[in-house]
Amino acid sequence: MTTYIVVGGFFGDEGKGKILAHLALSDSPEIIARGGVGPNAGHTVEYRGKRYGLRTVPSGFIYEGARLLIGAGVLVDPVVFRHEVEELNLKDRIGLDKRCGIIEPKHIEMDRKNKHLSDEIGTTGTGTGPANADRVMRVGKLARDIPELEEYLTDVPLEINSALERGENVLIEGTQGFGISLYYGTYPYVTSKDTTASQVASDVGIGPTKVDEVVVVFKSYPTRVGEGPFSTEISQEEAEKLGIQEFGTVTGRPRRVGLWDGEMARYSAMVNGATQVALTGVDRIDPECRDVRDYGKLTPKAKKFIEKVEEDAKAPVTIISTGPSLESTIDLRDEKL
Ligand code: IMP
Ligand code: MG
């Protein structure tokens, strides 16, 4: 039995979606549960020639043997939820906690019209901040108040803890990234909740003693969307020259791009309690590594970079991504753990 929590180590968009999909297919977890903030997240999974942009459903959904759950700490926009569930045909195996906070149209409107949020902070405009504010004010609706969600309601902590008692594997998905944690990020340019592993455990209702592995996902060239400090940022022109320009999954906004930040990696791995690191975008360090599936076939330049990441994060790099497709993954857990 192993409980995995996967979180983002930089500012989000580290490639968690792909790492989660890989872990789901390799480890056959009985339950895949989503923690994190809400549909402000955009996780991309490319599998069997199809590209999925997910905002609410767990990224591990491609492993068909898993029960999919959304924890009580996660905000749910019923429109987004039902759209994804129907599109991906997940009705029979997805549940959400009866205590999930609900995003209503008024929250989205407020997120987009409020100048502080939309212009100064540069939020995703998905209503998560205002919905969390309503929850703190104890006026927000919960999933149990919404008739259209009734068929999905469950007790997520009970389901997960029972699976753990039976000795099953459980995979828990975080969203966003360390740098936009409400507590540890670049406040006020942050999201509306903590984003670290402990928060994610609480989101789905398991205690810290039940977590075996914390995988912190870093990307070789970090990115950031929205406003706020980004100490290793490079110009869009430089990013274009390097061929590493990116656009957001949810907002379509160009992402700001930066160089590897060892200091941030160390701090983020520390607060998250990283036991492993997943490193994405290694093909950007050296294009010759694109789609390589064998550690031995990585170039010396890439290997040297990986060693530096291990020194910075003080945790082994166990999963390496060399391209967007799920197949372009090197899994070293058997050797390194
Ligand atoms: P909010 O979470 O929509 O309130 O946005 C607050 C800040 O967090 C903005 O800078 C967003 O761009 C950023 N943010 C929120 N969710 C994500 C994410 O999933 N990936 C990257 N940035 C995000
Ligand atoms: Mg994203």
Closest residue to atom 5 of ligand 1, CA basis: 123
Measured in Å, residue 43 CA sits from the centre of ligand 2 at 5
- Assess contact for 81 and 96: CB atoms under 8 A: yes
In the chain the domains, ranked by start, together with CATH numbers, are 3-99+152-336 (3.40.440.10)
Look at ligand 1, atom 2, and give the residue with the nearest C-alpha. 191
Q: Which residues line ligand 1 (CB under 6 A)?
A: 12-13, 37, 40-42, 121-124, 126, 128-129, 175-176, 180, 189, 191-192, 225-226
> For 50, phi and psi rounded to 5 degrees?
-110, 150
Atom of ligand 1 nearest to the CA of 40: 16
Among the bound ligands, name the one nearest to the CA of residue 116.
1
DSSP code of residue 159: H
Tokens at residue 199, please? 């928060």
pLDDT in tens, 289-311: 999 999 999 999 999 999 999 99
User: Is the C-alpha dihedral spanning 309, 315, 316, 317 positive or negative?
Assistant: negative
pLDDT digits (tens, 9 = 90+) for 154-208: 999 999 999 999 999 999 999 999 999 999 999 999 999 999 999 999 999 999 9
Q: What is the pTM of this model?
A: 0.97
Q: Which phi-psi region, left, alpha or beta, contains residue 255 (left: φ > 0; alpha: ψ -120 to 50)?
A: beta
pLDDT at position 216, please? 98
Residues in the 5 Å CB sphere of ion ligand 2? 13, 42, 249
116 catalytic residue (yes or no)? no
